[in-house]
Amino acid sequence: MRHVFAALTVVVLVHVFASAQSKPPLLPEPVVASLANELSGETAKRNLEFISRQHRMRASHGIAAAAEFVAGQAREYGLEKVEILRFPADGKTFYGTQKARMAWNADFAELWEMGADGKPAVRIASWDAMPLVLAQDSENGNVTAELVDVGAGTTERDYAGKDVRGKLILTSSQPSSVVPLGIEKFGGAGILSYAQNQQTAWYGENDNLIRWGHLDSFAKTKTFAFMLSLKQARGFQARLALGEKITMKAEVRAGQSVGTYDIPTAVISGADPKLKEEEFIFSCHLDHPRPGANDNASGCVTILEVGRTLAKLIRERKIERPRRTIRFVWPPEIEGTLALLNARPDITRRLKAAIHMDMVGGGPETKAVFHVTRGPASLPSFVNDVAEAFGEFVNEQSYEFAATGRASYPLVAPEGGKEPLNARMAEFSLGSDHQIYTDSSFGIPAIYLNDWPDRYIHTNFDTPANIDPTKLKRAGFIGAASGYFLAVVTGADAEAIWNVVRSNGFKRTARNFARSQALDDDQRSNLNRFSSMFERRIFDSMSHFFSLPLTMEGLGERLFPSHFLAMPDSKPTRGNGMIVFNRNPSIKGTMSAFGYDYFIDKYGAEKARALRLPRYQGLRGSGGEYTYEVLNLVDGRRNLQRIRDDVSAIYGPVPLDVVLEYLRALESINVIRRVS
């Protein structure tokens, strides 16, 4: 690690000096002041209040209404080339690794408990009152039947001694996982679920929450499912345990149909005749159930507010028009982004970086912690350090204001809170559209702004009342400052960027040094090598955006010599370790998409479960970070041993044969190909 320390030791004084200053990083102070003064958390929240009234399932009437609203606001704010892109949502079209799901809409759904006289007595759930009570992808049904508690309902022993044929099933599991046994094998007529998702420290604390439920969009067996609160479910369980017969009437009018993914987009055109063909994209996801205020009306209205602010400041000549074009998109989560990037390669090839916002407005009641999250280690880029610089600036300014009542840039909304932001600078984790941009088939660096935990995510309590305008303003500032800087950046900014990068690099080196103490000599050497290579590639990433000034040419090689980064491993590469793979350029996207899993569909669920690659659980990810990075590291240059070494440096040691097993599985479904 001597080269890393040699390169970064001087940063201690730089970091200490910078921390003591209130001067903004990277951008001129008048630009920062203009952004801080114009961004409005209240304007963003007013837009949020409309969007959160729509039940925004993919390709549905609700998301179409939200898309029209966003496009209308974008036009009113003076954004350019505003349009709603439409792509088939037909259940068969592939957008890279995403199989399009059909549109799903519901017209009516009610669940009643029947009285002793055989008539409806107590209404348990109503679609009109709360759409969240009906699980997504429910189909038509009209059933009056007894209620049977099957516990989890995912193993045959859950049904032992229970007759569920023609009856309604009460389960603690997500509806989709109960269908194979409860509906298909044992003949249940419908499902009542109280599944608890998104487990955090507040898991199960509020037993009145109704949580978002899902059925399989592509299941051959169609059924319906209602979602209950813990309180409701426990009440039914107690009565059933005493031998009481409970009869329910469920009526559902809902189903799938061919529709379209409606994706609003708008731009702020760049001023430079050549550079305007390069684009930086602000993204969010417009879908999710009503109310879905933080997840993710908050991200959608915040990038809309960034667009309003930049367009207004440019018109007023308070800031210059950016050299590069800035694009804004509002797709359905993940599947919409995959549709956009695959169906519109003309847009995709222009993208230099993405700023993605998913949940950025949670107030104190949500217990949310804000994150400025980096891209994956397989895609080092200085753009993440830019976002961290502005994130740290907001942390410093908001804390100073909270502690003293004075700050140059408190970034407080009149209707919002005054607490410090305390944003965490976080390592990469899966969980939203950022992972599509940074997948190696696209290779677009992404900044990910997000709240986690959020005690009300995917529930009926995710309401506008829990959204803080100050938080929206601060998230908007970090995004706007980062995006605007990247859209105007030139080689003249290289030294300032490098000061930020090496400051963060010192902190990364310190974390890796702490990690290395638990490793053996070979593993420690590998971590040191990867750390140096990572820092070198961040330095080199600047040249993808501008030409380095003469004073910095060759600096990367002097700080991180190629001969050191390419030094042989302690155990020479041989045998299977020599194998090299490359990605199939015709299959673009992540293996696990949204509502559809490409890998499992093509490879087979049973075989996939037998694979041994470890699971690394990020903050919000599904545990698939290991597999994500292994595929990302496939580039036609790294051999198998280097892929194993690199992913071991990122997440922890893993055997060579385990990595090979997964890569051969990918090869068998033509996602990757062996290089001669």
Return the CATH number of 568-676, one of 3.40.1350, 1.10.10, 1.10.357, 3.40.50: 1.10.10
Residues 493 and 7: their CA atoms lie apart, in Å, by 20
**Residue 9 pLDDT exceeds 70:** no
What are the domain boundaries of the chain?
25-100+259-486, 103-257, 568-676
pLDDT tens sequence across 613-640: 776 655 555 568 999 999 999 999 999 9
Residue 120 neighbours by CB under 8 Å, 6+ apart: 112, 113, 114, 249
Q: Which residue pairs, CB below 8 angstroms and at least 24 apart, start in 239-247?
A: 240/147, 240/148, 240/149, 240/170, 245/146, 246/113, 246/146, 246/147, 247/113, 247/114, 247/144, 247/145, 247/146, 247/147
Rounded to 5 degrees, what angle do the CA atoms 518, 524, 529 make?
A: 145
Selecting from 1.10.645.10, 3.50.30.30, 3.40.190.10, 1.10.357.10, what CATH number does the domain 103-257 have? 3.50.30.30
Q: What's the one-letter identity of residue 458?
A: H
Q: Which pLDDT value is given to residue 620?
A: 53
Whole-number pLDDT of residue 564: 65
pLDDT in tens, 366-386: 999 999 999 999 999 999 999
Q: What is the mean pLDDT of residues 151-180?
A: 97
pLDDT above 90: percentage of residues in the chain: 88
> 594 vs 131, 152, 218, 589, CA distance in Å?
21, 24, 12, 11
Is residue 13 pLDDT above 60, yes or no? no
pLDDT tens string 202-256: 888 899 999 999 999 999 999 999 999 999 999 999 999 999 999 999 999 999 9
Task: Say yes or no to pLDDT of 8 above 50.
Answer: no
Closest C-alpha to 38, from 302, 266, 313:
313
Q: Is the pLDDT of residue 17 over 80?
A: no
- Superfamily of domain 25-100+259-486 in CATH is Zn peptidases (3.40.630.10)
pLDDT in tens, 286-328: 999 999 999 999 999 999 999 999 999 999 999 999 999 999 9
Lowest mean pLDDT among 95-99, 214-218, 265-269, 551-555: 551-555
**Residue 21: pLDDT over 70:** no
338-361 confidence digits (pLDDT tens): 999 999 999 999 999 999 999 999
User: What is the maximal distance between C-alpha atoms in the chain?
Assistant: 89
* pLDDT (0 to 100) of residue 561: 83
